[in-house]
Each structure stands twice: as C-alpha cells, then as structure tokens.
Amino acid sequence: EKGTYAHYMLKEIHEQPGVMRKIIQEYQDEKGELKIDKDIVKAVRKADRIYIVACGTSYNAGLVGKEYLEKWAGVPTEVHVASEFVYNMPLLSKKPLFIFISQSGETADSRAVLVAIKELGHTALTITNVPGSTLSREADHTLILHAGPEIAVASTKAYTAQIAVLAILAQVVAKDAGIKVDVDLLPELAKVTAAITAVIDDAHTIEGFATEFLETTRNAFFIGRTMDYYVGVEGSLKLKEISYIQAEGFAGGELKHGTIALIEDGTPVIALATQESVNLSIRGNVKEVVARGAKPLIVAMEGLEQDGDTYVIPQVHEMLAPLVSVVVTQLLAYYAALHRGCDVDKPRNLAKSVTVE
C-alpha cells in the first residue's frame, strides 16, 4: 500500500534508510561482522574474472559494484548489458564467475545470458530482490536484496540495495583473502543511512530545484567523473523514464568530444562532485558548459563544496557516495515528473519487469 505517499516511487525513495538498516542486519553475524554464504565467497575467490550482466538500473548498479570488486576484493570485473552480451560474448577468462543483478529476477535478456553461460558450464550468482525468481532458481548461488517489494516502474530502492550488497560481498571476499581494506564498511553504511535520511528530509529543497531547473526544459545533462559518472547515468535514466525529458549522463571529460554542441542557453547540467581525486577536473568541466550557456545544478559532497554549489550532501566515504548522491537524482526525477504532470508510477511504454527479449 502507498499509505500516505502520493506515489509508490516516493514511498520507495523514503524506504531507503530502512532498507540500508535491513541489509546491515541481514548480512551480519552474531559477532557483528559482515557475513556472506561461504560457498559464494569461495566462488568469487576461485574466479580469475567477474562478469556482471544486467539491464537498465541494475546494470548501472553493476558499474558501481565493479569498483568494489576490483578495488577491495582485487578481482578484475567487467560489466555488460545483457541484451548485447547474449549476441556478442566477449572472450571469457579461464575461470569466470557471472554475477546477474536483477531486481525482479525475471528479466528475459539477463536470463538468456544465464542459460547460455550455464550451457558452457560456468558458475552464476544472482543478486535479486525476489527469492525463488527465475534467475535465482537457475543460478548456482543467490544473494537477496531485502529491499521489500518495489512497485513503481522506476527502480530506486533496489538500486541502492544492489550497491550495498555488492559492497558487502567485496568486503567479505577481501577479508577472506587477507586483503586489508581501509574502509570499515559497517560504520560507513550507518553513516550512509543517516545521510540518505538527511537528503530525504530535505526533499522540499530538491523539489524547488526540480521546478527551477527541470519543469519546462526539453533536455538535460548529468556529468560526473568516476563514481559520479555512474550515478549521472542512473540519474539520467530515472529522469528520462518518468519525466520524458531527454537526458544523458556523461563522463565529465567526454562531453567536449562532441556532445557539448548540444549545450544551449539555459540547458540544465547536473554536475556531481563527490570524489576528491576528480573534484578539480569536474569543476573545470562545469566551467566549460557554463561558458556555453548551461545552467549548472551542482551537487557536491561536504568537504568538497565550493561557492556557488546548488546542493551539498553530508559527508560519507567517497566510495559509498553513490548511495547518497543518487537519492538527490531520484528526488529530482520524481518532482520533475510530478510538476510536468506525468504518471510517475506508470510511465508510458514501460513495464516493471521486462520478460520479453
């Protein structure tokens, strides 16, 4: 039930702190340490390369997850769009592990890859919100998202849950492998939970940005570098699917290689600045678009903020910043759609679970 919320999407955005707490609880042992099924840890440790396969928002979560698996667990990881992978399989490593990320566990494009790689005798782990779903039943292993039912077509809490579960998996594998990681995940996830709550409590402010920047625009761009680039891609997908604004997420440095031609007077450019190593360069990219007339909406993280930033999210570990900054983009998309009179929970041409090729 939607309860007091106007839409399922808004309810599900608000549920994210609770989902984070639930995940922290579900993936903890009696001693208060992160835990993942031993067989799954073994499967990851055995792999010489991980292939993440997914669609849409789940693919976007995979982009963030790749960073954890490589930087924390030390396993080379590739992220693939399922519908491409099935027709154009890359040269596989000797000991691949496949990770399917799917909120519904029913996406036909992802399932086609699962069937193909099982025929080749490879091992599969499904990360899904739905125990007993097709992708869960047909894989060797499953990790559950514990996000609760996601009803709105636009995925929100499943994305943050997917990222959190991938982070936990990478850390448990790192620990098992004796790799020291300088991020103490449990307390950091608690900080993330508080930061998401703070952003949601500020929804009214973000609604103001949605009306100011997005209510009447034809198009919009998201720019960011590294982790912020991935969040920009997800933010643009959310904005497109529910508000019908043509939106694109770009790597900050890539915009000038063509797409900058689309920047006109007043084009909204949403810039994400949560990563210290690229803070100066993304600021440079903002100047490039502003010089061409763009209207910048800058979302920075506390500690990296500068004069003129539009919104500042609370400080969390920068590897986990996507969990917080994405909530700003979810709320921007929600309120943009609302003020443009769109059917937020049931956007045109879309179904919640895409069970056809």
Where along the sequence are the contacts to ligand F6R (CB under 6 A)? 55-58, 102-104, 107, 110, 154-155, 237, 241, 353-354
Does residue 352 carry a catalytic annotation? yes
Please give the C-alpha separations between residue 90 and each of 23, 55, 62, 80, 107, in angstroms, as whole numbers. 33, 17, 17, 10, 21
326-331-335 Cα angle (round to 5) = 150
Task: Using DSSP bridges, classify how beta strands 311-313 and 268-273 pair: parallel, antiparallel or unpaired.
Answer: unpaired
For residue 100, the one-letter residue type is F
Of 128 and 171, CB closest to ligand F6R: 128
CB atoms within 10 A of CB 121: 6
Of 151 and 181, CB closest to ligand F6R: 151
The contacts found for 81-89 with CB under 8 angstroms, 24 or more apart, are 81/53, 81/54, 81/55, 82/53, 82/54, 82/55, 82/107, 82/109, 82/110, 82/112, 82/113, 83/55, 83/109, 83/357, 85/51, 85/53, 85/113, 86/112, 86/113, 86/116, 89/116
How many angstroms from the chain centroid is the CA of residue 152?
Answer: 16
For residue 115, the one-letter residue type is V
What's the order of all strands across the beta sheet hosting 123-128?
77-81, 49-54, 96-102, 123-128, 141-144
Residues annotated as catalytic are 352
